[in-house]
Structure 1
Amino acid sequence: MKYDVKAFELLSNEEIADGIFDMRVKNDELAPLAKCGQFAHVYVPSKTLRRPISVCDSENGVLRLVYQVKGEGTKIMSQMKKGESVDILAPLGNGFNIEQGKRYCLIGGGIGVPPMLYTAKQTENPLVITGFRNKDLIILQDDFKNAGAELVLTTDDGSAGVHGFVTDVLKEKINEVDEVCACGPTPMLKAIAQVCKEFNKPCQISLEERMACGIGACLVCAVKVRKNGEEIMQHVCKNGPVFNAEEVVF
């Protein structure tokens, strides 16, 4: 895994939904190295710890990072202006393993939707299922359509798209795909893993955990996995964030 710390030029940083921002930063050396499912560690002025943000897209030296304002750090990020220099450690982690010739179902829930866009661009005719709490939080629908995806939108409250959960759609359409990749809240990932096990479909999941160093040195983002019949601890930032769903101990 090759990564480095570089200054990126901030090209834009716009709010695209309630509290959700679309940041685009340019660095011709590091941006092209990013693979789908990896993340960037963004330095925030006045804060000790960097903020891990999934790679939403990477094209022509531009890294696209879509994030949600959840605390002081991301609030400061949302106030950064075009032309500023952004200190970023990237690309980090192990992403999705995409095999040519397979049809994938890509599932994103909430702020777990952005990394599925770059993944969709690496596949042929993917089925993409996106889930949001309500219509005010919906993002990236046109981007997925432009990427050639078969797109299904769900909302918990029925204010847009299918009224229900992403797993409701998955159960209906899982036999149309060869493998599932997902990112989102842990309860959603657990439910997806159970459906895939029931239908005997391979499943890769991208876990969300609090991080500090981002490179596996501080041991903050530990998660329990099952390897060779034994339960061991691995780290989301270094061993993941993408894991085989069957190995994760929820």
Structure 2
Amino acid sequence: MPKLVEKTVIIEQRVLAAEVRELVLDAPVIAAQVRPGQFVHVRVANGVEPLLRRPFSIAKADAGRGVLHIIYRIVGKGTAGLSLLESGDHLDCMGPLGNGFIFQGEHPLLVGGGMGLAPLAYLAQQLCPKPVEILMGGRSREEMFWISVFEKLCRNIHITTDDGSLGTQGVTLDQLPKLLDSQSFDMVYTCGPKVMMAGVVRLAGIHNIPSQISLEDFMACGVGACLSCTCAGSDGKRRKVCSEGPVFWGGEVSL
């Protein structure tokens, strides 16, 4: 699949939570090609600073309308500047980049935490009408705006929060064994903190269920040239997250 640079137009920028935004972009060329799990590399400013592009997962794509949705958290200078842009402003986007999720199985379970839920949203969109279920975790009720994102895509939504303000108190790994024991899932997809994904892969393996993980990492070039985003493969070789990932099979890389 060719890597494209497209001058996209911001249709809307929505506030989802205190530090979380959703960008809706007019990007017909990339939207026509992107697959769940792939990402775009965005030049977040027109000036010299910040110099490097920022990678963002695709939370939703509509090829017919030519629209991309990106959900991101404001964490530094780049995303802070991005949050100030308005409808009609332009963004230079490179993509679609990386390898996405492989569709497999008839009863998939998605497991996500925090901003790792973003790529799982587009995956759920594309897996429909399969009986998709999701286990999602966050720190508190305020972070669970994700419910409105997934409620039309998933048959069942299972929720955990660290403080117990919504769903079950605890983390996703506390609830996952019960879900895997109670139902016949045949594929597990996960994205979020590495410690969570490592636990998901381990528990899925105990139940003989294949899993796929989506890694998030700092990237400079986004196309496998600079080696800034490499991770350790289970075979001892280095893996480039941007070009060989960001999606890997569970157990393929060290977490």
TM-score (norm 1): 0.95
Aligned residue for 1:87? 92
How far apart are 1:115 and its partner, in Å?
1.0
Note the alpha carbon deviations across 1:128-171, whole angstroms, 9 max, x for none.
11110111212221221112431111111111111111122221
Q: Contact 2:134–2:154 at 8 Å: present in 1 too?
A: no
Residue 236 (structure 1) aligned with residue 253 (structure 2):
no
Question: How do 1:153-164 and structure 2 match up within 5 A?
Answer: 153-164=159-170
Q: How far is the alpha carbon of 1:176 from its aligned partner?
A: 2.8
Alpha-carbon displacement from aligned partner over 1:68-111 (angstroms, at most 9, x marks no partner): 00000000011111001110001111111013x52110111000
Does structure 1 residue 122 correspond to structure 2 residue 130?
Answer: no
Partner of 1:181: 189
Structure 2 unaligned spans of 5+:
none
Match of 2:20 in 1: 20
Unmatched runs of 5 consecutive residues or more in structure 1: none
1:131 aligns with 2:137: yes
Query: 1:119 is aligned with what amino acid?
Result: L
Does structure 2 conserve the Cα–Cα contact (< 8 Å) formed by 1:26 and 1:61? yes
2:58 equivalent in structure 1: 55
Match of 2:171 in 1: 165
CA-to-partner distance for each residue in 1:5-31, whole Å, 9 max, x for gaps? Answer: 110110011110120100010121111
- Is 1:225 equivalent to 2:233 in the alignment? yes
Asked if the contact 2:132/2:153 (under 8 Å) is kept, the reply is: no
One-letter amino acid matched to 1:163:
Q
Tell which deviates more after alignment, 136-145 or 181-190: 136-145
Provide the rounded CA distance (Å) in 2 between the counterparts of 1:203 and 1:122.
17
SS at match of 1:146: coil
Farther-moved stretch of structure 1 (47-56 vs 25-34): 25-34
Q: Is the 8 A contact 1:28 1:62 kept in 2?
A: yes
Distance 2:53 2:74 in 1: 14
Letter in 2 for 1:208: E
Residue matched to 2:36: 36
Which secondary structure does the structure 2 equivalent of 1:231 belong to? coil
Secondary structure of 1:30's aligned partner: helix
Contact 1:38 1:55 in 2 (8 A): yes
- Pick which of 166-175 and 113-122 moved more: 166-175
What residue is the counterpart of 1:145 in the other structure? 151
Question: Residue 199 of structure 1: CA displacement?
Answer: 1.3
TM-score normalised by the chain length of structure 2: 0.93
* 3-state secondary structure, aligned to 1:74: helix
CA contact (8 A) 1:98 1:122 kept: no
2:11 matched to which residue of 1? Answer: 11
Aligned residues: 246
Moved over 2 A (4+): none
User: 2:175, 2:155 → 1: CA distance?
Assistant: 15
Give the secondary structure class of the aligned counterpart of 2:100. Answer: coil
The answer to whether the aligner puts 1:194 opposite 2:199 as a matched pair is: no
1:249 aligns to 2:250 (yes or no) = no
Distance 2:34 2:134 in 1: 21
Q: Please name the residue that 1:207 is paired with.
A: 215
* CA RMSD, Structure 1 to Structure 2 (Å): 1.2
Separation of aligned partners in 1, 2:96 and 2:159 = 29
Partners of 2:111 and 2:155 in 1: how far apart?
Answer: 12
